[in-house]
Structure 1
Amino acid sequence: MARTLLDLLYDEAPREEFDRLVEAGGDDPETRRAYDVALRLRELIARQRSREAELSALYDTAGDLTAIRDVDTILAAIVRRARQLLKADMTYLSLNDEAEGASFMKVTDGALSAEFRTLRLPLGTGLLGLVAQTGAPYFTSDYQHDERFVHRRFVDDAVGNEGIRAILGVPLVLEGRVIGALMATHRTVRPFPPEEVSLLTSFAAHASVALENARLFADLDEANTRLREQADAVEEAARVHDQLTGLLLHRSSLAEVVAVLGEVLGGGRVAVLDADGHVLAGDPAPGPGPSRAALAEAVASGHSVAVAGGYLAPALAGQEHLATVLVHGGPDLDRAGRRTLERGAIVAGLVLLFARSVDEAEERLGGALLTDLLEGSDADPARLRQRARGQRLRLDAGCVVTVAEVPAGERHRAVRAAARLARAVDGLAVEHRGRPVLLVPAHDDPLTTGQRLRAALAETCGEPVTLGVAAGPAHPTDGALPAAYDEARRCLEALLALGRTGECADPAALGVTRLLLGTSGPGDLEDFVTRSLGPVLEHDQRRGTELVATLEAWFAEGGRSRATAERLHVHPNTVAQRLDRVTDLLGPRWREPDAALDLQLALRVARLRSPQDQD
């Protein structure tokens, strides 16, 4: 008999076969005792196997926690395994929403209706709400008739639609805080033994660990993302730094700085403005430009400031505001972008400082050269040419000499502006005897060149600029610059004496006025006669004509040709022919009042200087 019962135990036979075997043995006490022992062993083996299955499921779940980083996948596996082990009709897991004061379905397994899968229970409502609120496990064999729980119609309807009767719920606890609940339900009335409560509690603990791991992984992912972003930002900053540093090393211009900044700042338009808001390079924003308040804030802080449509950053050298870099029309700049803008402003400031240093050095060297030329203190032609080559000045070419008068407060600014204008055309400028002096190549007639320079200086200084111009192109190598400078200076002084501030004139434009208002000597008179009458005097001397005498007679007779002919005892046609020759020599303007006055005075001076020729 014992062997037969052991065989049944080994074969995992159902209870009915054990019962039939006992009935066949009659009332034998030994058979009955063996039967009881066999049933107890059968139950113990069943419990042991169930326990092994539970432990295996928990072990697999623990393995999932280390192998799966997707929290939804882990929670779905926990809910599914809990349903299988508890042989429940449905299992589900909820999470608490503390702000709303409710617990909502996160994962379900075995739910029949979409309504149940989206259910949200206020904390304290129903069995789930009570577990989620108190953190204690609860179960009921028949929920619909259990008055221990707060029933809500929408909850009871959802439970009824699923046909749920028995419910077991255990809390999800993380660091002492209830974060949700894990539930197992049956669609029949039944109790929940302690081992099922313990098993579901173990699954709930794993679910809590999964959620905590998910949070930690999320934090780690976020930290890794930030580290990657920071590493990318550092790499990008290094690249931008190399680009901007390269601009300095290659002595790049502001336009190149603007181009690089526009590229690295996401394609926004960039402009560099001077301290007064004038555009030095780039594409300025439409409208009036940045406000004084924004500029003051940026200068005071030394950092970038957001303005309408963009950002600006100051370029500072100590307390000096060199320029402002403005970016507009592009994307919003993050912290790294704004730091890049600030570095770009520093580079723009350094470019301006380098340019200023170069300008000042060239101004000093060019000014020293021009001073020596004006004063005739360096008479070595080879040395002059060598010095001139360094300033891109062609000494063998004709040059226009001008002297300017500006308001005293604008003199330094005017000298700097004159230096820039002169360098732009391969000339020189210097402050000589308290006034800006410019020496530029003679591409046009001197007066036209002077008028152009005066207008450019006036635009830069914003004040009236008066300019005197020497009559003809001077050649620095023949020592003519000192005389040309004196001539331009006397023209300037004549303009000032006449109150013609803001004008430009050369000796021809001033005529005899230059002699009357200047400090003229014999050389000046000679120069005046030569300029006014020289071609006629030379013609008479070379050809033995009487053009000078004809002019004197014509002026004496008030410009009447017949009276002139009678005075000279010649035919009127002869007078007409001689006057036509004068026109060929002096130009058609000699008959105009201003030119005629200068010509009559030149005739008188020439006559006075040759008394032996007088009648």
Structure 2
Amino acid sequence: MSRDHVQSAERSAHDAPAPPGAAARRTPAAVETPFLDLLARGASADAYEQPVLVARAEGAPAERIAALEHAKGLALRVRSELEGRRRREAELSALFETAHDLAGLRDLDAVLRAIVQRARSLLGTDVAYLSLNDPVRGDTYMRVTEGSVAARFQQLRLGMGEGLGGLVAQTARPYVTDDYFQDARFQHTRTIDAGVRDEGLVAILGVPLMLGHHVIGVLFAADRRARVFEREQIALLGSFAALAAAAIDTANLLAETRSALADLERANEIIQDRSGVIERASDVHDRLAELVLRGGGVHDVAAAVSQVLDGTVEFTEAAAAPARALETSRAEGHAVRHEDDWIAAVTAGDELFGALVLRGHPGLDPVDQLTLERAAMVTSLLLLARRSAAEAEQRVRGELLDDLLDARDRDPRLLGDRARRLGADLTATHVVLAARLDATAPDADHEADARRRLWAAASHLAATGHGLAAARDGGTVLLLPLARDDDATDLARRTARHLGTAVHEAVTVGASAPVEDLVTHPDAVAAAYTEARRCLDALGLLGRSGDGAAAEDFGFLGLLLAGDRNVTGFVDRTIGPVVAYDERRGTDLVRTLDAYFACGMSPARTKDELHVHVNTVAQRLERVGRLLGDDWQSPSRALEIQLALRLHRLSIPQAH
């Protein structure tokens, strides 16, 4: 205690109004000295009786004893005032410390715990605790306890109006009881009473925690014995409650501020991410636009998207893509995941071209997914553009072939120029091929669709083979160049196989004999087409569906099919080796063959016809077999050989 406080207390005692007769009882300083010493030592109230008792024991006069009694009363008054000031100093110090803690608030629980601890210490109670309102459940719950030993008490929840705390929370007014269980002002419940009984509480003081006009909780001080709480103690606990409310409000504001900052940080991250997304999308758009403008293809698009998505993107035909995932992507219009891959259907309207497949990239964010979908759309546009260009070129090729077939009065030079612009060389040797689907369509629509598919396949074959193609007479006609080591028959068969594979149906192809120098003789195309059609019809009559052949494959029937009736060619193909052998060696194999057939293929009669030995006939026939093949005496070959012998004989000028 400070000296100023002691002097102030002494002045207060001396300045107090003196009772009647006080002048007679004024005592010298020696009477007050023992009490001043007790005040200085901070002795207990009982110690102030000691000087009076000693004086009486010594038989001091009544005036001295009265003076001592008067001095004792003054000293006790000073002592009481000093103790009150000490208590107020401690309370103010605790409040200042709490305010300091609040100013540097870092942990709300720590601040609330300190408030409860100081309230318990200053009020000298056994227990102090703080409860907060739960707006969701409409009750209050224990937040902090100090001095509590009962677990059930620490977990209590009080409904509004239940118990002392519930009443404080409901009315926003402090309540105090010196004997809780005997106080009928509160709504007692089994749960609350059981918790209070476990803790052993008797006297309880509760004050509300206010934020504006709203109660957010209750601060309690309680004893395990009956006790009367003074006004100063109620006011002190109210001050702590105000600080606790301020701490909670500050903590809430800090939490809101931190949440707002966190939201701002997240928003900033989103903005940065979106900015990156926009940049990536712009980059993808620029790359795809550049590809389209410079005439890039489907694989160029896949390569560009592979770089952007940091993966492998491939264009896959519809038949090779996962059917279920492809159909889902087509129906939804979005890329879909299939195992570790992503599938984006490449479509145009109801037409399915295939799919873009992102390989081995299971994690794909929405932006990358959109990039893949955009690439699929660009791919479909490229395919449509390429198909449109191909169809336009096919139409141009078809128109040129139509002119070669129909317009015989066209300028050959102009026809040659048009062919060169399309990559066709009319000065080279060509073969005209007539192709037709053999299957019967169920209706006109299916038949028209089948013809379109055949024409598309033939046009593609012609474009890649530097030829021409056109739809004609319910089928397709092609003008294809003939390689030096190739022949019309092999070309017809290859064409039949290729077209059949492309349209998934049997395609029969008839070929003409090779035609040359179409620039000078463009009308030869029409004649060759007529020959090819005859071969095509012959294949149909012979039941050779899905096959290819030229007139030379039909033996002597080829003479009837060939447009130019190529007798020399037939003779050369049939008995040319024998004729050439006779010319080189001066032998007589042709005459022997002629006599052999004329004699009914009898060697004995042949020797008589030729006037040679039978062994000579046998040797000559053996030589013929080596030149024409072992099957030269088969019925079909024998018929062709006899016809060729007769034509050969007719072609030899007769001597007059």
Tell me the TM-score normalised to structure 2 length.
Answer: 0.68
1:468 aligned to 2:510?
Answer: yes
Offset of 1:8 from its aligned partner?
Answer: 8.8
Offset of 1:115 from its aligned partner?
Answer: 5.6
Distance 1:401 1:256, change over 3 A: same
1:304 aligned to 2:305?
Answer: no
Contact 1:131 1:138 in 2 (8 A): yes
**For 2:556, which of 512, 516, 522 is the aligned residue?**
512
Contact 1:76 1:108 in 2 (8 A): no
The alignment partner of 1:193 has SS state of helix
Distance 1:381 1:409, change over 3 A: closer
The equivalent residue for 1:547 is: 589
Q: Deviations over 1:174-229 (max 9, x none)?
A: 89877x63544445455350331242133124314423542553365346435524
Cα RMSD of the aligned pairs, angstroms, is 5.3
Contact 1:244 1:257 in 2 (8 A): no
Q: Deviations over 1:396-446 (max 9, x none)?
A: 99877643224554333323323444566x544522656242636758765
1:51 aligned to 2:87?
Answer: no
Q: Deviations over 1:542-579 (max 9, x none)?
A: 44433333333333344334433333333344444444
Offset of 1:86 from its aligned partner?
Answer: 5.1
Distance 1:593 1:143, change over 3 A: farther
1:492 aligned to 2:532?
Answer: no
The alignment partner of 1:559 has SS state of coil
Report the more deviating stretch, 471-480 or 102-111. Answer: 471-480
Distance 1:38 1:16, change over 3 A: closer
Total equivalences in the alignment? 582
State the distance in 2 between where 1:469 and 1:272 align. 36
Offset of 1:346 from its aligned partner?
Answer: 1.4
The alignment partner of 1:502 has SS state of coil
Higher gyration radius (CA): 2
The equivalent residue for 2:252 is: 211
Contact 2:429 2:517 in 1 (8 A): yes
User: What is the one-letter code of the residue matched to 2:217?
Assistant: A
The equivalent residue for 1:200 is: 241
State the distance in 2 between where 1:570 and 1:168 align. 154
Tell me the TM-score normalised to structure 1 length.
Answer: 0.72
**For 2:453, which of 409, 413, 438 is the aligned residue?**
413
**For 2:469, which of 430, 434, 437 is the aligned residue?**
430
User: What is the one-letter code of the residue matched to 2:547?
Assistant: E
The alignment partner of 2:434 has SS state of strand
1:96 aligned to 2:130?
Answer: no
The equivalent residue for 1:339 is: 370
State the distance in 2 between where 1:334 and 1:56 align. 54
Distance 1:76 1:36, change over 3 A: same
Offset of 1:465 from its aligned partner?
Answer: 1.8
Q: Deviations over 1:34-70 (max 9, x none)?
A: 9857865764575366335424523532442xxx5xx
State the distance in 2 between where 1:513 and 1:246 align. 62
* Superposition map of 1:444-463 within 5 A: 447-463=489-505
Q: Show structure 2 runs of 5+ residues with no match.
A: 11-38, 52-63, 438-446
1:284 aligned to 2:331?
Answer: no
User: What is the one-letter code of the residue matched to 1:601?
Assistant: L
State the distance in 1 between where 2:456 and 2:321 align. 25
**For 1:355, which of 386, 394, 403 is the aligned residue?**
386
State the distance in 1 between where 2:635 and 2:108 align. 110
State the distance in 2 between where 1:572 and 1:171 align. 144
Q: Deviations over 1:281-324 (max 9, x none)?
A: xx622x66655xx57854xxxx428799898765455x564546
Offset of 1:343 from its aligned partner?
Answer: 1.8
Offset of 1:340 from its aligned partner?
Answer: 3.6
The alignment partner of 1:466 has SS state of strand
The alignment partner of 1:201 has SS state of helix
State the distance in 1 between where 2:649 and 2:139 align. 121
Distance 1:237 1:183, change over 3 A: same
Contact 1:363 1:430 in 2 (8 A): yes
* Superposition map of 1:516-595 within 5 A: 516=560, 518=561, 520-522=563-565, 524-595=566-637
The alignment partner of 2:570 has SS state of helix
Contact 2:631 2:637 in 1 (8 A): yes
Contact 1:22 1:35 in 2 (8 A): no
The equivalent residue for 2:29 is: none
The alignment partner of 2:654 has SS state of helix
**For 2:217, which of 167, 181, 198 is the aligned residue?**
181
Offset of 1:531 from its aligned partner?
Answer: 3.3
State the distance in 2 between where 1:133 and 1:512 align. 120
The alignment partner of 1:235 has SS state of helix
State the distance in 2 between where 1:510 and 1:137 align. 122
Q: What percentage of aligned pairs have identical amino acids?
A: 33
The alignment partner of 1:232 has SS state of helix
Distance 1:520 1:488, change over 3 A: closer
Contact 2:510 2:534 in 1 (8 A): yes
User: What is the one-letter code of the residue matched to 1:200?
Assistant: A
Report the more deviating stretch, 571-580 or 466-475. Answer: 466-475
The equivalent residue for 2:283 is: 242
Q: Deviations over 1:84-110 (max 9, x none)?
A: 355374434546272x66555555566
The equivalent residue for 1:79 is: 113
Distance 1:326 1:444, change over 3 A: same
Q: Show structure 1 runs of 5+ residues with no match.
A: none
State the distance in 2 between where 1:332 and 1:168 align. 61
Report the more deviating stretch, 319-328 or 454-463. Answer: 319-328
State the distance in 1 between where 2:496 and 2:210 align. 87
State the distance in 2 between where 1:587 and 1:242 align. 71
Contact 1:58 1:203 in 2 (8 A): no
Contact 1:94 1:106 in 2 (8 A): yes
